[in-house]
Amino acid sequence: MRMKKKNLVLIMKKKNSKLIWNNYEKFSKCQTEKNVRSECKNPDEFKFDGADEDNEITMKNYTFTTAKMMELLLSMSTEIKQQSERQTEELKQQIKEQSERQTEELKQIKEQSERQSERQTEELKQQIKEQSERQTEKLKHVKLEVVEQIEEQSTRIEMIEQKLDRQTVEVDHKIDKLKRELEQSKKMAMPLDHASGRTLKVPAFDGEMSWNVYKTQFETAATSNCWNGKERATALILALRG
């Protein structure tokens, strides 16, 4: 800004110097014509010669002294100086006003930028808050679903355990019943006739073969031996015991 102002002042000084010389020439010409007319002289009869050693400008019978020209130049210089000062003040005022406008514009731009930044920050905070709330709500639902599934699985496991307990009790009752029947059968049954050669031995149930295969073998042996119900039960208990 200072360099710009300095350059403008230099340009104004150059223009003022040129203006002084041009105004001087115009004034000299006008003043000469005015004086010639006042003495009823013909301007064409006048011839302008160069300045002599006493710095005088001669037009036949009329002479302008250097003192008058210096007075004129001083007056013009004063006027031009005042005009230059006015122009300088105007230029300063323009520069000041322009600087104030630019400062105000920069201030407005800064305030606008700050407001925009605040709005963006608030929008971002709101988005983060909403997203966090959605995630929290989603996690809450997932947690509830997991809890419900765990409770459901716990209920199923409890039901299975209860069913197994009932089945175990039933099996124990059946085993006890078979044991009692076996003891009763031992007391009441007659010895089997092994000498006739028609008794088939029932293999022991080791658990390796399937129950269906073993059952078929047992039924075959029981039919071949002509066993009744009690004999079948006794043979089956012995086979199961191994």
Residue carrying structure tokens 């014509």:
33
Count how many domains the chain has: 2
pLDDT tens, residue by residue, 136-161: 999 998 989 999 999 899 899 989 98
Residue 184 has pLDDT above 60, yes or no: yes
SS3 57: strand
What pLDDT score was predicted for residue 195?
A: 41
Query: What is the pLDDT at residue 67?
Result: 78
> Quick one: 175 and 109 in the same domain?
no
Same domain membership, residue 173 and residue 108: no
Please, which pLDDT band fits residue 227 given cuts at 50, 70 and 90? confident
Distance linking the first and last C-alpha atoms of the chain: 117
Q: Which domain holds residue 205?
A: 161-241
Beta bridge partner(s), residue 64: 57
Q: Of 51, 83, 113, which residue is a domain's last?
A: 113
> Within a domain: residue 172?
yes
Mean pLDDT score across all residues of the chain? 73
Confidence (pLDDT) at 52: 45
In a domain, 146, yes or no: no
CB contact at 8 A, 76 and 62: no
Write out the two tokens for 82. 């005042």
For residues 100-125, average pLDDT: 90
pLDDT value of residue 26: 56
Helix (H, G, I), strand (E, B) or coil at 62: strand
Report the alpha-carbon distance of residue 219 to residue 197 in Å, rounded. Answer: 18
| Predicted local confidence at residue 90, as pLDDT | 92
In-domain check, residue 22: yes
Is the residue at 200 inside a domain?
Answer: yes
Q: What is the pLDDT of residue 93?
A: 93
Calpha distance 63→97 (Å, rounded): 51
Domain-embedded: residue 81: yes
% of residues, the chain, pLDDT over 90: 18
Tell me the C-alpha distance between 24 and 15, whole Å. Answer: 14
pLDDT at 22: 60
The pair of structure tokens assigned to 133 is 């709330």
Residue 13 lies in a domain: yes
pLDDT tens for 74-101 read 888 888 989 989 999 999 999 999 999 9
121 domain residue, yes or no: no
Average confidence (pLDDT) over 103-132: 90
Q: Model pTM?
A: 0.32
Taking only the tens place, the pLDDT of each residue in 41-79 is: 444 444 444 444 444 444 444 445 777 878 888 888 888
Instruction: Pick the closest to residue 214 from 227, 204, 222 (CA basis).
Output: 204
Query: Is there a domain that residue 132 lies in?
Result: no
Q: Are 59 and 38 in contact (CB under 8 A)?
A: no
Task: Name which residue leads in pLDDT, 24 or 126.
Answer: 126
Q: Are 101 and 95 in contact (CB under 8 A)?
A: no
Of 84, 113, 142, which closes a domain? 113
